[in-house]
Amino acid sequence: MDTRPIKILVAKPGLDGHDRGAKVVAHALKEAGMEVIYTGLHRTVDQIVRIAIQEDVDVIGLSIMSGAHIPITERLVKKAREEGIDDKMVVVGGVIPVRDVLRLKELGVKGVFPGGTPFSEITSFINDNAKKS
Amino acid sequence: MGVAKYTKDEKDRITDVTLQSGIHVKACYGPEDLEQVGFSYEKDLAAPGQYPFTRGIHAEGFRSRAWTTRQYTGFGTPEESNERFKLMISHGQTGLNVAFDLPTQMGYDSDDPMAEGEVGRVGMAIDSLRDFEIAFKDINLEKIGSGLTINAVASIMLAMYQAVAEKYGFDPKRISATPQNDILKEMIGRGSWIFPVEPAVSLIGDTIEYSMNVLPRTNPVSICGYHIRESGATPAQEIGYAILIANAYIDNVLKRGYDVDDFVGHFSFNLNVFGNIWEQVAKFRAARKLWARNLKEKYGVKKDSNMYLRGLFGGGGYGLTKAQPENNIMRGAYYALSAALAGAQTIALCSYDEAYTIPTPHSAILSLRTLQLLMDEIGLRDTVDPLAGSYFIETITKEMEAKIEEEMEKVEKVGGIVRAVATGYVQRLVSRQAYEYEKGLQSGELKKVGLNIHTEGEPMDVELHEYTGESAEKQVAALKQLRRERNDREVQRTLKELETATRAGKNVMPYLVESCKAYATVGEMARVFRDVFGEFQEPALF
């Protein structure tokens, strides 16, 4: 049985500097036994994909508060496909209006966690769905 | 029940109340409590308008002047923001509090690839003086003061504010701007930093030095405990860190050979209001006292009015919930009450829909009315510091003071605030606390109406401010037109002079004003600083 912990990248794309949510979720994931890498602020999509490859993570989690979640996710999914890492699960959290959840899922995002989602919901979703490479 | 922790027994009797800053609240207070905390009327309280200003900075409080109402406003293009500014002023708002979009805050032009998807989204887009000309059109800048919510490139925006004022014929000596201009708090929370700590602090020093000489009514820095608390800090940490940060800016200007009494009277604060009402009131009273004592005892400030803690007390966004959003209207009213009871100079309230997006005209005016009815309808201007002398308030004000001092000592022990921020010490403390707080909410240990208690009812639809990409397209088109029409040679000349001055360590402000007047863009001016200073390397931790 594979006992290696799930490795997840918590990423802050774009210019938005509100990282309270990202850091709080990073704490929760870590406490749930996952290995967490945090990118820090102001990352471009290219940088995030590069870190995901270098660190060989199982999951890429984007935290977006500025409202630009759709264009940013589109770019990330495209870049991940180009780099051949579209098998990695992508999840998105932050200020995400209900009406945009479907659109994000169409783009290939597996889980969407708007602000206020219980930690247990996030961690069990990732535990159940992340495929370890 | 706010953010205090309540322990109850099986009969639902409260057996313990602990405020977020760690103060235990007793069921009843009397004179013996004052004695126990060593309260002295002369040293701890005194009359309003007298050192240490616990009761407020003016002898007559709100009788002599009501608080300024300054709602945070701005979105889309300068045209759209100008319209909203005028709407708020026409409804009786007495100051502007300008919101900039993220590309502007981060020193990128609207057509920069980094700006994609962000132009005009969380504030207005500003690329050049031409945008400021539109944004401030038909606004009397000698009458209406403006808060500018900008930090990393605050020096550029302050220069632009002077340039637009001059363009419209106002006297720089009579205009009043309050840029946030607090980079250390951006590094702790909110994250709109660009340059490394030392040059970033030095740019703030430049704006303070320049304002003294050229923009005497301007408050060149507004220390934002607000954002530190929004990131997870306790009220005691919020004030402790804010005072230490202010001291770092003072130290920078003192090195330039000025007397502290020449400039410190123009420091202002932007502090947070949400949660337990008593803790908030005690926090503000203790903050005024500690700031005054810090200036008098550490820096030898002589003039009383230079020791005033002047502040915008903002009804905090983190207190609001997405669940049952109309409850935020009531929350806002209580936050405003806390701020008014604590003697705010200026109040801004988050609007009830701000847990979703930026406010609609309707919700923004509702917040303004909340402040106005408090001012004119229910007696908040009747008398100064009505809570003074309460056994409870005076006791917890003393206790809060001790908690704040404790937080300051912890930072001093790790080498002071500049070092504590550069190494991520403060960020780590604050993010850990944010996590504990969130866990408290999720477990129900901390109560929040509509979120974890009294959650019955259908979710409601909120009418939201719509963002369309149209504003961004217009802004980019206007920027391209500006680049065609301006005198490029003049732009290059002023930028070159800015670069030379920056490399030489001169005060950059006069050069920025010249660049602004030549219609250099924010991105071009910020590029000069990026090239000379480099970028802040964020400590990678959470």
Minimal Cβ distance to A67: which of B121, B432, B438: B121
Residues of chain A with pLDDT under 50: none
Q: Which residues of B393-426 are buried (b: 16+ CB within 10 A; e: fewer)?
A: bbbbbbbbbebbbebbeebeeeeebbebbbebbb
**Residue A59 phi, psi (nearest 5):** -135, 140
**B341: enclosing H helix or E strand:** helix B327-341
**Residue B149 phi, psi (nearest 5):** -80, 80
pLDDT for B161 equals 98
Q: Shortest CA distance to A68 belongs to which of B507, B32, B122, B157?
A: B122
CA distance B440 to chain A (A): 11
pLDDT for B117 equals 84
User: CB-based contacts of B485: which residues, under 8 Å, 6+ apart?
Assistant: none
pLDDT for A1 equals 53
Chain segment B111-151, per-residue pLDDT in tens: 999 998 889 998 999 999 999 999 999 999 999 999 999 99
The pTM assigned to this predicted structure is 0.94
Contact between B442 and A97 using a beta-carbon 8 Å cutoff: no
Q: Which residue of B has its CA nearest to A19?
A: B190
Q: How many CB pairs under 8 A join A and B?
A: 92
CB < 8 Å to B116, chain A: 71
Chain segment B27-44, per-residue pLDDT in tens: 999 999 999 999 999 999
d(CA B24, CA B240): 19
Residues of chain A contacting B, Cβ within 8 Å: 10, 12, 14-20, 22-24, 26-28, 36, 38, 40-42, 44, 66-68, 70-72, 95, 97, 114-116, 118-120
User: B296: which 2 tokens?
Assistant: 């008098």
Query: Tens of pLDDT along chain B (542 residues)?
Result: 457 899 999 999 999 999 999 999 999 999 999 999 999 999 999 999 999 999 999 999 999 999 999 888 999 999 999 999 999 999 999 899 999 999 999 999 999 999 988 899 989 999 999 999 999 999 999 999 999 999 999 999 999 999 999 999 999 999 999 999 999 999 999 999 999 999 999 999 999 999 999 999 999 999 999 999 999 999 999 999 999 999 999 999 999 999 999 999 999 999 999 999 999 999 999 999 999 999 999 999 999 999 999 999 998 888 999 899 999 999 999 999 999 999 999 999 999 998 777 888 899 999 999 999 999 999 999 999 999 999 999 999 999 999 999 999 999 999 999 999 999 999 999 999 999 999 999 999 999 999 999 999 887 777 777 777 899 999 999 999 999 999 999 999 999 999 999 999 999 999 999 999 999 999 999 999 999 999 999 987 76
pLDDT for B366 equals 94
CA distance A95 to chain B (A): 7
**Residue B154 phi, psi (nearest 5):** -60, -35
Contact between A41 and B538 using a beta-carbon 8 Å cutoff: yes
Q: Which among A8, A16, A20 is the top mutation candidate for probing chain B, defined by the most B β-carbons within 10 Å of its own β-carbon?
A: A20
Minimal Cβ distance to B118: which of A28, A40, A66: A66
Contact between B191 and A41 using a beta-carbon 8 Å cutoff: yes
Q: Which residue of A has its CA nearest to B232?
A: A20
What's the longest Cα–Cα distance across chain B? 79
Q: Which residue of A has its CA nearest to B187?
A: A17
